[in-house]
Amino acid sequence: MAEKPYHHGDLRVALLQAAEAELAERGMEGFSLRSVAKRAGVSHAAPAHHFGDVQGLLTALATEGFHRFLAAMQAREATAVEPRDRAVAAGIGYLDFALDRPTLFRLIFSSKKPDFGNADLSEAGNAAFDHLVGLVEPLGGGLADIAALWAMAHGVADLAAGQRLRMMEGMDEAARIEMIKGLLRRVLPQRQPR
Amino acid sequence: MAEKPYHHGDLRVALLQAAEAELAERGMEGFSLRSVAKRAGVSHAAPAHHFGDVQGLLTALATEGFHRFLAAMQAREATAVEPRDRAVAAGIGYLDFALDRPTLFRLIFSSKKPDFGNADLSEAGNAAFDHLVGLVEPLGGGLADIAALWAMAHGVADLAAGQRLRMMEGMDEAARIEMIKGLLRRVLPQRQPR
DNA sequence: CCGCTAATCCTGACAGTGTAAAGATACGAG
DNA sequence: CTCGTATCTTTACACTGTCAGGATTAGCGG
């Protein structure tokens, strides 16, 4: 158990953790590769070997971000059984992720730094999208219904991540969730009349 | 008419134009103050006198961005008369702005670089928000209805700005607009029954 | 028209950034 | 045990934002 072993042993995941912490603290704008390396206790050029350049690091981080994003939706869905309730719950999970990790949310949806042509990242993103599609399907929804749920969930989440929903700040969490659920229900396909 | 007058004469607006062009070409991430200065044909330290630092420049640019954002909504509203149609049209204008100037849209809604505590910027942002509120008011809508319209319009616009709405890319503009109008109508307060 | 102040712009410097090249170290297969 | 190779460090370079100080000129009272 040397103080400073020349070989870290698990630098790749250590760098990803450090990058996420750095992103959470200093934000997407003030993100620094050298600072990430310092946080991981390693020289500033060490990340290059694992990720190539900063884009490679952020691409890997975004991939992990999409996995957590999907997990956040699924966690909320587990509390519901009816298809409509599950779709609404997924929207709440969408918001959860944006509130818990706003910078990761921005890295995934509003940044151009990751390489979205990367196979792993693309796959992770498609998985999240396909999951949303699968939620609308049992409701007999079409393309417009998928877009509706997605846009509403994303709109709420992105505004919340940017702290642009001051109207929500005065409410306690339960009331806030109930209000968002109401918004999401508006856009779901209505039960067929008759 | 000297070749290079020592005093530019109108450097402030020239820098703002250069900054906007730079933002459109290289994106929010690769934005460089020195490059903006070079584009305006001026030394790298010249902007400091007019804007202080890069945050000052981006704050001024964001302020102008909010004005154009509001104008984009109003331009679409002019084509409608009914209150409901006006609210829907505003949503289309929201999308117009995000598609025409995605990086400016991101500067305003997804960046932390501008100083949103700045009086001018704050006022410009509030004006846009207040305008949205004024659109929902004649519909008898409450707080939830404002949030609904805002979130739906913002969700569509932000996804479009990030080119995450591939389902829309195959459609011609008229069909796309008609689809978005349908999404926006979903969230507006329904006509009171009876 | 003169002269002075203040606004405007430039030059030079510094710390910090990402990345590439080359050297140091240690792991693991043979 | 040896040696190739993966891993990490050191060094260097161009670029960034910001600051200090100097150069230029516009504006204006006299």
pLDDT tens figures, B108-160: 999 999 999 999 999 999 999 999 999 999 999 899 999 999 999 999 999 99
Distance of B62 CA from C14 C1′ (whole Å): 30
CATH number for the region A1-52 comes to 1.10.10.60
Which position has the higher pLDDT, A2 or B97?
B97
CA–CA min distance A103, chain B (Å): 10
Supply the DSSP string of B109-147, one letter for each residue: HS-SSS-TTSHHHHHHHHHHHHHHHHHHGGGT--HHHHH
Q: Which nucleotides of C are covered by protein (CB under 7 A)?
A: 8-13, 16-22, 25-27
Considering chain A, tell me which residue range(s) the CATH 1.10.10.60 domain(s) occupy: 1-52
Q: What architecture does CATH give domain B1-51?
A: Orthogonal Bundle (1.10)
A164-173 pLDDT, tens per residue?
998 888 899 9
DSSP B43: -
Between the CA of B34 and the C1' of D23, what is the distance in angstroms?
21
pLDDT tens profile B9-62: 789 999 999 999 999 999 999 999 999 999 999 999 999 999 999 999 999 999
Residues making up chain B, counted from first to last: 194
Is there contact between B8 and strand C, defined as CB under 7 Å from any strand atom? yes
Cα–Cα distance, A95 to A73 (Å, whole number)? 9
Residue B108: closest CA among B87, A99, B118 = B118
Name the token pair of A156: 């709420």
Within A 28-57, residues with CB less than 7 Å from strand C: 31-35, 44-45, 48, 52-55
Residues 40-99 of B with CB under 7 A from strand C: 42-46, 48-50
Residue A153 sits at the chain B interface (C-beta within 8 Å): yes
pLDDT higher than 60, residue B194: no
- Contacts with A179 from chain B: Cβ below 8 Å: 144, 147
Structure tokens at B55: 């945050």
Matching residue, tokens 């997804």 = B110
- Residue intervals of chain B classified under CATH 1.10.10.60 are 1-51
Share of chain A above pLDDT 90, in %: 88
Instruction: Say what the pLDDT of residue A6 is.
Output: 56
Q: CATH 1.10.357.10 occupies which residues in chain A?
A: 53-187
Which residues, at least 6 apart from B7, have a Cβ–Cβ distance to it below 8 Å?
none
* CATH class, A53-187 region: mainly alpha
The gap between B26 CA and C30 C1' (Å) is 52
